[in-house]
Amino acid sequence: MHIVRGPATHNTLGAFMTTLTLAAGRPTLADRLFSRSLATDAVLIAAGAGLTALAAQVVVPLYPVPITGQTAAVLIVGGALGATRGALAMALYAVLGLFLPVYSEGAQGISVILGPTGGYIVGFIFAAALTGYLAEREWDHKIFGGIAAFLAGTVVTFVFGMTWLAIALGLNLEQTLQGGLYPFIIGGIVKAVFAASVMRLSWLAVHRSDDRRNDAA
């Protein structure tokens, strides 16, 4: 049997591909700013990975784990894109770092993933997923909800990072806490507050734009 594909068939297929998206049913900040489609999702995921790569070059060198701007980027990307796209953006970042100098201080290669700080990079995927999940439930619309969501994401990163650190260097619990947690507690809180502030201000701008359009209508 031969099926004739006319204009209506192509229009229907085009509409389906346009509406197909990785976004959750509940809109995140990205969904309020951009149309939903697989093409848009791909661009947003790539942009999220790119932002994280840039932020990773903002470094305060410490041993064994440096303080970087990438953790703040992870929180913002997860909050803005949602769970699925946020996690995919971090997974893309992790993969890109195998071939390109996008990790902290321009590092690259499988040796970084397998090294002492590799757990933090893996943890970014799950941290972005969690913060994105909470953002889909509007935690990021309010400053304190955003802080709570981003602190939760920070904890996830630390759990993966410290576990990996302890295994890679053969550290005991106290050594792990001293090397992988204590120096970063204040920084983690500051980054969570910063990310929450960015998201809160962004949502305020979106709501004000909506109000202006409604007034004009």
pLDDT tens, position by position, 43-74:
999 999 999 999 999 887 766 666 788 999 99
Distances (CA, A) of 77 to 98, 138, 172: 21, 15, 33
On the question of pLDDT at 8 being above 80, the answer is: no
Q: Considering the domain boundaries, does residue 19 fall inside one? A: no
Q: How far is CA 143 from the centre of its chain?
A: 18
Q: Considering the domain boundaries, does residue 51 fall inside one? A: yes
Instruction: Domain count for the chain, please give it.
Output: 1
On the question of pLDDT at 179 being above 60, the answer is: yes
> What is residue 3's predicted lDDT score, i.e. its pLDDT?
45
Report the predicted TM-score, pTM, of the whole model to 2 decimal places.
0.85
| 69-118 pLDDT per residue, tens | 899 999 999 999 999 999 999 999 999 999 999 998 899 999 999 999 99
Quote the domain boundaries for residue 60: 26-203
Q: Considering the domain boundaries, does residue 213 fall inside one? A: no
> What is residue 177's predicted lDDT score, i.e. its pLDDT?
95
Can you give the CATH number for the domain in which 140 is found? 1.10.1760.20
Q: Which amino acid is at 113?
A: I
Q: Considering the domain boundaries, does residue 53 fall inside one? A: yes
| 13-29 pLDDT per residue, tens | 444 444 456 665 568 99
Residue among 49, 97, 46, 96 at smallest CA distance from 74:
49
Q: Considering the domain boundaries, does residue 4 fall inside one? A: no
Lowest mean pLDDT among 18-22, 111-115, 133-137, 192-196: 18-22
Q: Considering the domain boundaries, does residue 175 fall inside one? A: yes
Looking at every residue in the chain, the average pLDDT score rounds to 88
Q: Considering the domain boundaries, does residue 109 fall inside one? A: yes
| Residue 4 confidence class, pLDDT cut points 50, 70, 90 | very low
Assigned token pair, 69: 């701007």
